[in-house]
Amino acid sequence: MSAQVRPGYKLTEVGVIPDDWEVTALGRIASIEGGYAFSSKKFLQRGVYQIVKMSNLYEGYLDLERSASFLNDLNESERRYLLNQNDILITLTGTTGKRDFGFTKIINKEKGLLLNQRVARLVVGQRAVPQYVAFQLKFDIFLDQFFDVSKGGTGNQTNVGTSDVESMFVPVPPICEQRAIATALSDMDALINCLDQLIAKKRDIKQAAMQQLLTGQQRLPGFSGEWEVKRLGDFGRCLRGVSYKGDADLLPYDTDETYRLLRSNNVQQSIIDTDGLQFVSSRCVSNHQILKPKDILICMANGSKDLVGKAGLFEVLDGHQYTFGAFMGCFRMSTNAVPNFIFALFGTHKYKSYIANLLAGSSINNLRPSDVEQMEFGFPQKNEQTAIATTLSDMDSELATLETRRDKARHLKQGMMQELLTGRIRLSQSSQEAKLC
């Protein structure tokens, strides 16, 4: 049975779109070329021209600090690969079976950038608005085509050729409607970028406040007196996690005979993330390995040294019982501790220095419970600990509010793309006006 299409719309190669929109191959509205294999013998740490590699493009972001290579002089064949404003970049090589390529970015005001191999650029002609095309290249209509034509290369590598990109279809509304769509989505990008910058600034402020308040460099109003150096072991003990035998002790879901198992991937930016849980048989779990509110979950061992020591405060109150894996630890505090103050110490430079020194010169990235318990910090009186913890908690709340706003803006933008880039919702300009512009 054919799909029902509402009046004013038509069924095309890219789905249902308005009657006055076209569907065209990308190569008819943009010229597409691959990058240049620049000679590594010329590369500098700093120079006039920076080479844009695949590693510089990630999920729509252009990170010019990643894998930076520079040149000072260009020959004639290299000069043609200088990027211009409104050039659209797209990465062409990735890993078989993964969507780790096809990332796009439109060049705005960046200067002195060179197009490297495995990255292509699109130069949009007069029939289309570059910003509109850039949004279409990030949308499912294009990306589904892109990954369908990816070809195997050497090893587990996969590629898309420039001729493949040229043949991919995109919906093209009248030029004025393209501008209106691009403006609406760009405004959302600007809002998200503004929130990202504000969040980064607030995180820096919090990190500076932690450094000052948790070392006594700055005191809160009304507090004085000497701080006392104590070990973390004076306020609790560190416990190792559950050992289990692979699939024999794991189940795919909750039962009355399982506990929810937290591992290293469940600690993200000092937060306990309950996505990607495993469920371990209760026969493997001792009573002391059942997590309690305000326990501090610590990554004790990992293949990456950078991940060893990361920690999150356990505050999950969903009615389920949780435990933690053998490569994890739990710092369980006694009644004389101020939990939020103790946890704040796990985010300081001093804590990170302790971890780095413990792992230095060792091929085994592993902490012992005693390593954690023997760490020493300065402690004020309990009422000052509480005041410091409250101040930092207020900063966390402000950050969480901003992150929620940012996440809602991202979700709203995705919804806008779904509606605007398919013509399901038309902007205030009528389709008849769009034909005349």
Neighbouring CB atoms inside 10 A of 230's CB total 13
Asked if 149 and 266 sit in the same domain, the reply is no
* Residue 194 within a domain: no
User: Are both 238 and 107 inside the same structural domain?
Assistant: no
pTM, full prediction: 0.83
| Domain encompassing residue 154 | 22-171
Are residues 256 and 117 part of one domain? no
Element (H, E) at 217: none
Domain membership flag for residue 205: no
- Cα 219 from chain centroid (whole Å): 35
Looking at the structure of the chain, the number of domains it has is 2
The predicted pLDDT at position 434 comes to 47
* CB neighbourhood size of 232 (10 A): 24
Cβ atoms of 14 and 170 within 8 Å: the answer is yes
Q: Is the dihedral of CA 181, 184, 188, 191 positive or negative?
A: positive
- What is d(CA 373, CA 237) in angstroms, rounded to the nearest whole number? 6
Same domain as 245, residue 163: no
Whole-angstrom Cα Rg for the chain? 27
In angstroms, rounded to a whole number, what is the distance separating the alpha carbons of residues 282 and 258? 5
Same domain, 63 and 158: yes
Query: Residues 171, 22: contact at Cβ < 8 Å?
Result: yes
Task: Note whether 370 and 235 are same-domain residues.
Answer: yes
Q: Quick one: 131 and 270 in the same domain?
A: no
* Number of H-type helices and E-type strands within the chain: 11, 28
Is 415 part of a structural domain of the chain? no
Does residue 305 lie in a domain region?
yes
Does any domain span residue 314? yes
Where would I find the H helices in 53-174?
A: 76-79, 130-136, 140-148, 162-167
Q: Are 276 and 369 part of one and the same domain?
A: yes
Pairing of strands 113-115, 49-52: parallel
The reported pLDDT for the residue numbered 34 is 95
Q: How far apart are CA 261 and CA 321, in angstroms?
A: 9
Does residue 50 share a domain with residue 133? yes
Is 132 inside any structural domain? Answer: yes
> Apex CA 407: angle with CA 401 and CA 412, to 5°?
125
Same domain, 264 and 156: no
Q: Give the CATH number of the domain where residue 43 resides.
A: 3.90.220.20
Collapsing DSSP to helix, strand or coil, 91 comes out as strand
242 plus 149 within the same structural domain: no
* pLDDT for position 42: 80
Same domain for 69 and 143: yes
Among 153, 171, 189, the domain boundary falls at 171
**Tens digit of each residue's pLDDT, the chain (437 residues):** 455 899 999 999 999 999 999 999 999 999 999 999 987 778 888 899 999 999 899 877 888 888 889 999 998 899 999 999 999 999 999 888 888 899 999 999 889 999 999 999 999 999 999 999 999 999 999 999 999 988 877 778 899 999 999 999 999 999 999 999 999 999 999 999 999 999 999 999 999 999 999 999 999 999 999 999 999 999 999 999 999 998 889 998 899 999 999 999 999 989 999 998 999 999 999 999 999 999 999 999 998 889 999 999 999 999 999 999 999 999 999 999 999 999 999 999 999 999 999 998 777 789 999 999 999 999 999 999 999 999 999 999 999 999 999 999 999 999 999 999 999 999 865 444 545 45
